[in-house]
Amino acid sequence: MKQSRACVLGASGGIGAALVDRLAEAGYEKVYAGTRVPRGGAAPNVLPFRFDLLDESSLAEAADRIAADGPLHLVVVATGMLHSEGIGPEKSARQIDAAAMTEVFAVNTIGPALAAKYFLPLLARDRRAVIAFLSARVGSIGDNRLGGWHSYRASKAALNALVRCFAIELASRNPKAIAVALHPGTVDTPLSKPFQRNVPAGRLFAPEDSARHLLAVIERLTPAESGGLFAWDGSPIEY
């Protein structure tokens, strides 16, 4: 790990912050922690930087600064939106609102795609390197049995499709590289707070546990699994 560099985009969220802590403890030489407002007080090997997922110029600037230090060996795009003030998961097609859907797609699909535009080229080309995107099981078309949550489901399904494209692109430049979408399960964060009532016992994870699960999955992945969608326990989820 001492010669490895990792980057987490979305390091102010519950899962993102926990991922930064775990990576720093694991002994990565440098862990770049991207947030809208960088904070001090981090471990010596954590390097905060500013970015805005919806501001392409900020992603380009951040990538340029990080590239100067050398290639990255792990990138995690730990961003996402399920609800915000005035926006929530639809229960019916009658509730679809163009402005709300546009905002959900901007955060869950377009933003991560722009992150890939600037951070895929930073991945090491001579050894195993991974870029992982936080997705969701509800983004699986084949697994959809309940309907609803139209914008969120569609935005995550679109992200999963992009990840498959990124995997094919990465393989042409480094056969050892992996692009993957990850379903973290239900994590005790503000994103899931209104929807935790029916979570089975033992399936509401603390952010620290979620980070441990996700990094364990990342560690086990092989290039043959690049482009896939995997749950927190490593099980594959159909697209």
DSSP assignment, residue 109? I
Query: Mean pLDDT score of the chain, rounded to an integer?
Result: 92
- Mean pLDDT for 135-159 is 93
User: Taking 70 as the threshold, does the pLDDT of residue 201 lie above it?
Assistant: no
219, with CB counted inside 10 A (0-12, 13-18, 19+), is exposed
- Which H helix or E strand runs over 67? helix 56-67
**Which position has the higher pLDDT, 40 or 57?**
57
What is the identity of the amino acid at 2? K
Q: What is the pLDDT of residues 23-35, one digit of tens each?
A: 999 989 999 999 9
Report the CATH number at residue 195: 3.40.50.720
User: Taking 70 as the threshold, does the pLDDT of residue 198 lie above it?
Assistant: no
User: Taking 90 as the threshold, does the pLDDT of residue 189 lie above it?
Assistant: no
Q: Which of 40, 35, 74, 72 is nearest to 53 (CA)?
A: 35
Residue-level pLDDT at 95: 95
Length of the chain in residues, anyone?
Answer: 239
Q: What is the pLDDT of residues 65-120, one digit of tens each?
A: 999 999 999 999 999 998 887 788 999 999 999 999 999 999 999 999 999 999 99
User: Could you tell me if 184 and 166 are in contact, meaning their C-beta atoms sit under 8 angstroms apart?
Assistant: no
Residue 18 domain boundaries = 5-237
Secondary structure of residue 50 in the 3-state scheme: strand
**Distance of alpha carbon 153 from alpha carbon 137, whole angstroms:** 9
Count of structural domains within the chain: 1
